[in-house]
Amino acid sequence: MKGETKPEFTRYQFLLVAIIALVLMTIVLDFMLMSALSAILLPKLEITTKQFGLLVSAYPISAGISAILLSGYADKVDRRKLLLFFYSGFLIGLLFCANAPSFHALIVARIITGIFGGVVGPICFAIVTDLFETTQRGRAFGILQMASAGSQILGLPLALYLASELDWHFAFGLVLFLGIIAVFLIFWKIKPIDRHLQMLAKVNPLHHSLKIISNRNYLIMFLSNTVLVSGDIILMTFSSAFCTNNLGVNLDDLPLLYGIAGVATFIFAPIIGRLTDKYGTLNVFLVGTILTIMMVAVFTNLGINPLWAVIIVHTLLFLGNNARSISSSALGTVVPEVEDRGAFMAVDAAMQLAVGGVAAMIAGLIVFQSEDGMINNFPSLGLVVISLMILTSGLIYVIDRMVKRRDDTKSLGEV
């Protein structure tokens, strides 16, 4: 979708998107942290790649179940109240993670974190969709993508440093500390968001959920997003362990590896957002996909290399993924009708998370760690990821054409 760039955001829009970016930073940091800790947790907890895949999948599967249960009610409640409730539960889950004494206790803690944290993202996206015009959303999601960059620049390197120098529990404690700041800002600064309530005053929650999951256009978007997320998770679940054991990256250099990728994302995410608004979601998505496919092919077949070479490939891989994520998110906001946004986001998150959990387990089955610590079968894993990226590109093309036909029909009707 293309459109003329709207005037700059209002002061409240800037404040809102900044708070939501901080919220999403903690959600992203928590989720990325598990994969980044693979190099530390595999030996510390004395677990196999299959067990680690289960550990990673505990969050998204529980989050997916929670999100699907929320879908019928997501548009029946003030979004600010909904955000406060679930984000507070997420912080309680983090508290358990920061104090988990064993592998099994950590799985339980991840389930609790997932039940609440998994729906925070869709609530935030629904808020942005409610309060930003269509032609502002590329920029808005570009800023939100900086939350991921912030996680990589500050949060993830610091969390990895704490995990390697002190103890892995401190990494979750850092996320908890940032989350406490964010929850106070939500309570203090964000106004009630209830304009959508009038549209659904008499709608049955069950009927509303059934309407969402039976809409053909929505289902195509759900499928596209689940395939997109699956590829990312399959690749990233064991990426840090692959870097340290196969590519010769020292454990102490992991913060630098993720930090540089974060700086690049921080710089380019707003630019990608503006390009999305100007040139269209499909064009930006395809360019990002081409770059990502090339980097996946290189990354998964690398051997021992200088740190600078791994950093270049890893950073380009992240930039390609960010371009795909920003453009896909912007396109996804124009698919649902106004009265369906909250439920659409909840169902979308549920499907992404549930399939993402399965993807983490699949990654644990594809690769295995030999006695010398090497992560084997990573090239095969790369082929699976590339195949999923090609499939996603086809789905995004179909969705883009579908939205354009719908908009053309509306324009003719207005004439």
**Amino acid 43: pLDDT:** 83
Contacts of 174 (CB under 8 A, 6+ apart): 155, 158, 159, 162
CB neighbour burial string for 149-185, b if at least 16 within 10 angstroms, e if fewer: bbbbbbbbbbbbbbbbeeebeebbbbbbebbeebbee
**Amino acid 3: pLDDT:** 46
**Amino acid 282: pLDDT:** 84
**Amino acid 5: pLDDT:** 47
Determine which helix (DSSP H) or strand (DSSP E) holds 376, and give its type and residue range.
strand 375-376
For residue 119, what are the CA distances in angstroms to 93, 100, 148, 318, 401? Answer: 14, 23, 17, 24, 29
- Least-confidence region, from 6-10, 103-107, 369-373: 6-10
- Number of other CB atoms surrounding residue 4 within 10 Å: 7
Cβ–Cβ < 8 Å for 122, 67: yes
In the structure, what pLDDT confidence band is assigned to residue 35 with cuts at 50, 70 and 90?
confident
**Amino acid 412: pLDDT:** 56
Answer with the residue of higher pLDDT: 202 or 245: 245
Cβ–Cβ < 8 Å for 310, 243: yes
Mean pLDDT for 9-20 is 79
Residues 329-386: tens digit of each pLDDT: 777 767 776 666 666 766 776 777 778 778 878 888 888 888 777 888 899 999 999 9
In the structure, what pLDDT confidence band is assigned to residue 96 with cuts at 50, 70 and 90?
very high
- Name the average pLDDT for the chain: 79
Q: Hey, what domains does the chain have and what are their CATH numbers? A: 14-190+208-409 (1.20.1250.20)
Distance, C-alpha 322 to centroid of its chain: 10
In the structure, what pLDDT confidence band is assigned to residue 95 with cuts at 50, 70 and 90?
very high
Cβ–Cβ < 8 Å for 352, 66: no
In the structure, what pLDDT confidence band is assigned to residue 388 with cuts at 50, 70 and 90?
very high
Sequence-ordered alpha helix ranges (H) in 248-340: 254-279, 281-299, 307-334
Sequence-ordered alpha helix ranges (H) in 367-377: none
193: left (phi over 0), alpha (psi -120 to 50) or beta: beta
Mean pLDDT for 6-12 is 67
Q: What is the largest CA-CA distance in the chain?
A: 70
Cβ–Cβ < 8 Å for 302, 246: yes
Contacts 24+ apart (CB under 8 A), 201-206: 203/75, 203/76, 203/339, 204/72, 205/72, 205/73, 205/76, 206/72
Contacts of 377 (CB under 8 A, 6+ apart): 366, 367, 368
Residues 126-158: tens digit of each pLDDT: 777 777 666 666 667 666 766 666 666 666 677
**Amino acid 4: pLDDT:** 47
Structure tokens at 22: 């901080």
Residues 192-201: tens digit of each pLDDT: 766 655 555 4
Answer with the residue of higher pLDDT: 177 or 201: 177
Q: Is residue 408 exposed (0-12), middle (13-18) or buried (19+ Cβ within 10 Å)? A: exposed
Q: Is the pLDDT of residue 111 over 80?
A: yes
Mean pLDDT for 293-303 is 92
Cβ–Cβ < 8 Å for 161, 256: no
Mean pLDDT for 52-64 is 82
**Amino acid 153: pLDDT:** 64
Residues 249-297: tens digit of each pLDDT: 888 888 788 878 878 877 887 788 788 877 878 888 899 999 999 999 9
Instruction: State the Rg of the chain over Cα.
Output: 20
